Amino acid sequence: MAHPKRKISKQRRNKRRTHYKAEGKQLSTCSNCGATTQYHRVCKECGYYRGQQAIQTEEQL
């Protein structure tokens, strides 16, 4: 197995990563209420996830 002879400095390590640009969050619309939500997250407006009630919101209590 390859084993580095010297420690790679933080500056040198980070120079390799300069071309990487983070993308924005992926957004979708809630199938229940139509609000904009992130993928794989419970809707903050209605509390539904994939067509099922996941949490109870303040309005429902």
Tell me if residue 9 falls in helix, strand or coil. Answer: coil
Residue 27, strand partner residues: 38
- Quick: pLDDT tens for 5-51: 999 999 998 888 888 777 888 999 999 999 999 999 999 999 999 98
Q: Which residue has the higher pLDDT, 61 or 50?
A: 50
Q: Which residues contact 2 (CB under 8 A, 6 or more apart)?
A: none
Give the C-alpha separation, 45 to 39, whole Å. 14
Output the pLDDT for position 7: 93
DSSP letter at 10 equals H
Output the pLDDT for position 43: 93
Output the pLDDT for position 1: 75
